[in-house]
Amino acid sequence: ETCASKNRLAVSIIDALAMGVGFTLTLCVLAALREILSTGAIWEIPILPAGFVPWAAMRMPVGAFITLGLLLGLVNAASKKKS
């Protein structure tokens, strides 16, 4: 909203599209990680070794919060490492 109120229409549209794409990519990464940790596969293609024990919590809503927390921790650690 701040960008839309202070900039021209074209800039506001580009900002909105970029925010939407970023949010969508974040949700896709979150979903892919949950799928890998809950089944060991993506689209029924095995990713993890045969001895992998699926993490049942990842199939429940709490799995999204755990995965989001892990992702945020990784991003924060990576950004601290750069600075």
Can you give the pTM of this predicted structure?
Answer: 0.75
How would you write the pLDDT of the chain (83 residues) with one tens digit per residue? 677 778 788 888 898 899 999 999 999 999 999 999 988 899 989 998 988 898 888 899 999 999 999 999 999 999 998 87
Calpha distance 20→72 (Å, rounded)? 19
The full set of domain ranges for the chain reads 2-82
Q: Phi-psi bin for 40: left (phi > 0), alpha (psi -120 to 50), beta? A: left
